[in-house]
C-alpha cells in the first residue's frame, strides 16, 4: 500500500553548509551559463549563415553545440532556482523529465563525438570518397540515429521511476534530478535501475570511446604513411579540436562514474563539484576549443562581428 505522500515533490539540494551564500555562488554559475549559451549559440549562427561552413565536419559541430545547449537549458532552471530563489521543491513529473533529458543528452553527446570521429576518419583515410560518403542525407541519418539512440535507450529507465512508490526521504543530492539519486528514494526493488545503467553506459559511452580510440589509431597510421611533413601536420591539425573535446568529455564522464561508484567515503562536496564539472565544463570549453583551433571558425567569427559576409 502506497503512503499518502507517494506523489509529493522532491527536494533539491544546493551546497550544504553554504546556504547563506547561495546568491553569491549563483554569480559564477550565471556567468558560466551565459557563456555556454553565447558560445554555442554563436557557433550555431555561424554554421547556419556562413556557406563556407556547410560541410559535414561543421554540421556535426552544430549537433555538438545543439546538444550542449540542450544540456545547459535542462539544468539551468533548477540550479539557478535553488541558488537564487531557494526554490527547492520539484514535482515528480518535472524531476523525471529533467532526468530523462540530462541522461539522454549525455548519450547523444557521446554519439556526436563518435560521429565526428567518423567524419575525420573518412576525411583522412579516404579523402577522394569524402564528399560521396558523407552527403547531406548521410549526415542527417547519422545525426538522427545518434539522437534516437540517446533518447530511446533512456526511456525504460525513466518509465520505471514513474512506477515506483516513494516513501523514503525526499531530499535529492543535487540542484537537478539525476536517475541515480531518485532511484535510491524508491520503496521498491530497484535491481533493474542498478543494472540497466551499467549495461547501457558500457554499450554506449564506453563503446563509443573505444571506437573513437581505434579510429584515431587508424588515422595516425594513415598520417604516418604520408610522405610530406607538411601534409602530415595539416591532416593532424584538422583533428586537434575534436580530440580536445573528446578528452574533455570522457575524462569528466569517467571521473564522475568513478566517484559515484567507488567514492562512498568521499566528501559530499566532491560529488557535487564533479557533477557540475561534468555538466558544465564540456559545453563551456567546446566553443572555445573550436574558436581557437579552427581557422574557418575564426574567420567566420570575424566576418560575423565585423558585419562582412562571404559571397
CATH of the domain at 141: 1.20.1070.10
Whether 271 is covered by a domain: the verdict is yes
Whether 304 is covered by a domain: the verdict is no
**Exposure letters 170-185 (e unless 16+ CB within 10 A, then b):** bebebbbbbbebbbeb
Whether 84 is covered by a domain: the verdict is yes
**162: domain range?**
10-299
Whether 167 is covered by a domain: the verdict is yes
Instruction: Say how far apart CA 115 and CA 138 lie, in whole Å.
Output: 11
Can you read off the three cell numbers belonging to residue 49? Answer: 549563415
Instruction: Provide the H-helix boundaries in the chain.
Output: 22-49, 56-85, 92-125, 130-133, 136-163, 179-182, 191-203, 205-224, 229-262, 268-293, 295-306
Please list the pLDDT of the chain residue by residue as tens digits (311 residues): 344 456 789 999 888 777 778 889 899 999 999 999 999 999 999 999 998 899 999 999 999 999 999 999 999 999 999 999 889 999 999 999 999 999 999 999 999 999 999 999 999 998 888 989 999 999 999 999 999 999 999 999 999 999 999 887 889 989 999 998 999 999 989 999 999 999 999 999 999 999 999 999 999 999 888 767 888 888 888 899 999 999 999 999 888 877 766 666 777 777 788 889 999 999 999 999 999 888 889 888 888 777 665 54
Kindly give, in sequence order, each residue whose CB lies less than 8 Å from that of residue 194, ignoring residues fewer than 6 positions away: 183
Whether 311 is covered by a domain: the verdict is no
Whether 22 is covered by a domain: the verdict is yes
Kindly give, in sequence order, each residue whose CB lies less than 8 Å from that of residue 66, ignoring residues fewer than 6 positions away: 40, 44
Whether 4 is covered by a domain: the verdict is no
Whether 27 is covered by a domain: the verdict is yes
Work out the number of other CB atoms within 10 angstroms of the CB of residue 82: 25
Half-sphere exposure of 83 (CA within 13 A, CB side): 20
CA distance to 243, 258, 303, per residue, from 53 (Å): 20, 38, 13
Number of domains in the chain: 1
Amino acid at each position: 500500500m502506497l503512503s499518502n505522500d507517494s506523489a509529493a515533490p522532491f527536494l533539491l539540494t544546493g551546497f550544504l553548509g553554504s546556504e547563506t551564500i547561495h546568491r553569491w555562488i549563483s554569480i559564477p554559475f550565471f556567468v558560466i551559463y551565459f557563456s555556454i549559451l553565447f558560445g554555442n549559440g554563436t557557433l550555431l549562427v555561424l554554421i547556419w549563415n556562413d556557406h563556407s561552413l556547410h560541410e559535414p565536419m561543421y554540421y556535426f559541430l552544430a549537433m555538438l553545440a545543439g546538444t550542449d545547449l540542450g544540456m545547459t537549458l535542462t539544468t539551468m532552471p533548477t540550479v539557478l532556482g535553488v541558488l537564487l530563489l531557494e526554490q527547492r521543491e520539484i514535482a515528480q513529473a518535472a524531476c523525471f523529465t529533467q532526468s530523462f533529458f540530462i541522461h539522454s543528452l549525455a548519450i547523444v553527446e557521446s554519439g556526436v563525438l563518435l560521429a565526428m570521429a567518423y567524419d575525420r576518419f573518412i576525411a583522412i583515410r579516404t579523402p577522394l570518397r569524402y564528399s560521396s560518403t558523407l552527403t547531406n542525407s548521410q549526415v542527417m541519418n547519422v545525426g538522427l540515429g545518434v539522437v534516437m539512440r540517446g533518447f530511446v535507450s533512456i526511456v525504460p529507465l525513466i518509465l520505471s521511476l514513474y512506477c515506483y512508490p516513494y516513501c523514503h526521504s525526499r531530499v535529492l543530492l543535487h540542484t537537478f534530478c539525476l536517475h541515480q539519486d531518485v532511484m535510491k528514494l524508491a520503496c521498491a526493488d530497484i535491481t533493474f535501475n542498478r543494472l540497466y545503467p551499467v549495461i547501457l553506459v558500457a554499450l554506449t559511452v564506453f563503446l563509443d570511446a573505444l571506437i573513437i580510440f581505434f579510429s584515431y589509431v587508424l588515422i595516425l597510421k594513415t598520417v604516418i604513411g604520408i610522405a610530406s611533413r607538411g601534409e602530415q601536420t595539416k591532416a593532424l591539425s584538422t583533428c586537434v579540436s575534436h580530440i580536445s573535446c573528446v578528452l574533455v568529455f570522457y575524462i569528466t564522464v569517467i571521473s564522475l562514474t568513478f566517484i559515484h561508484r567507488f567514492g562512498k567515503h568521499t566528501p559530499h562536496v566532491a560529488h557535487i563539484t564533479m557533477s557540475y564539472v561534468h555538466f558544465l565544463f564540456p559545453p563551456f570549453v567546446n566553443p572555445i576549443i573550436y574558436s581557437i583551433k579552427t581557422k574557418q571558425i575564426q574567420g567566420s567569427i570575424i566576418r560575423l562581428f565585423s558585419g562582412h559576409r562571404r559571397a
